[in-house]
Amino acid sequence: MPRTDVTVPTEDGVCPATLHTPSSDGSRPAVIIYPDAGGVRETFLAMADQLADLGYTVLLPDVYYRSGEYEPFDLATVFSDPPERERLMALMGSLTGEAVVRDAGAFLEFLAGRPEVSGTGVGTTGYCMGGRISLIVAGHFPDRVAAAASFHGGRLAAEGDPDSPYLLADQIRAALYIAGAENDGSFGPDQYERLDKALTAAGVRYTLVTYPAAHGFAVPDNTTYDEAAAQRHWTAMADLYAANLT
């Protein structure tokens, strides 16, 4: 799939990103893909290519751009290596709710001006922390985000968290697909129930399921990658976007 290195002006600087398009010419609906805590790396470039191959123009932003250049993380060891874990947590902590929303506005404006993009309805998807971001963006930009997905997302309905996506349920107009992981401490049964109730009460169109796989199931370089769950996630995402992005 063709990849183009781009830069997106934001309120906080300039965000490097890649734009992924299908092999054939023409404009397509846009999708923003938000990576997991490990950030942009070859695995996510390949996933953005695969998503573009489904017929979309895909933006993959470096969500940690405020921190400047950083060494890529080894997802197999980062959580067992105290200094690396500390470095990762510091980067994650830089993504406040306000920063996420500011960036999303810039990404949407950027996509609106690209000839590779058709229509005004945009899709979002994300993994781990990116799944949470995907839903936050859907809640803050209801007139732009038409479909949003979250895969093994964490803190989606964390009690006491003012930025938790469940608090935005009554603002969401997008169709949602949310797939949690089994035995996931970042999105346990209490959060599942809280999110389910909030989305139902708000009349959101959504699917909320738990895949029989561990946190990280959809991302190939995670040690918990599960091929069957990953294929299920691709099918679900293709169906979601086909029904809601034109």
pLDDT tens-place values along the chain, 246 residues long = 699 999 999 999 999 999 999 988 899 999 999 999 999 999 999 999 999 999 999 999 999 999 887 787 887 888 888 888 889 888 888 899 999 999 999 999 999 999 999 999 999 999 999 999 999 999 999 999 999 999 999 999 999 999 999 999 999 999 999 999 999 999 999 999 999 999 999 999 999 999 999 999 999 999 999 999 999 999 999 999 999 998
Q: Which residues contact 216 (CB under 8 A, 6 or more apart)?
A: 36, 75, 127, 128, 152, 181, 222, 223, 224, 225
User: What is the extent of the structural domain holding 226?
Assistant: 3-244
The pLDDT, as a whole number, for residue 78 is: 82
- Residue 61 in 3-state DSSP? strand
- How many H helices and E strands in the chain? 6, 8
b or e along 235-244 (b: 16 or more beta carbons within 10 Å of the residue's beta carbon)?
A: ebbeebbeeb
> Residue 160 has what DSSP assignment?
T
Contact call for residues 144 and 108 (beta carbons, < 8 A): yes
The pLDDT, as a whole number, for residue 212 is: 98
Q: Which two tokens stand for residue 36?
A: 């997991």
Here the CATH number for the domain that contains residue 171 is 3.40.50.1820
The pLDDT, as a whole number, for residue 46 is: 98
Domain count, the chain: 1
CA torsion 214→216→219→223, rounded to 10°? Answer: -80
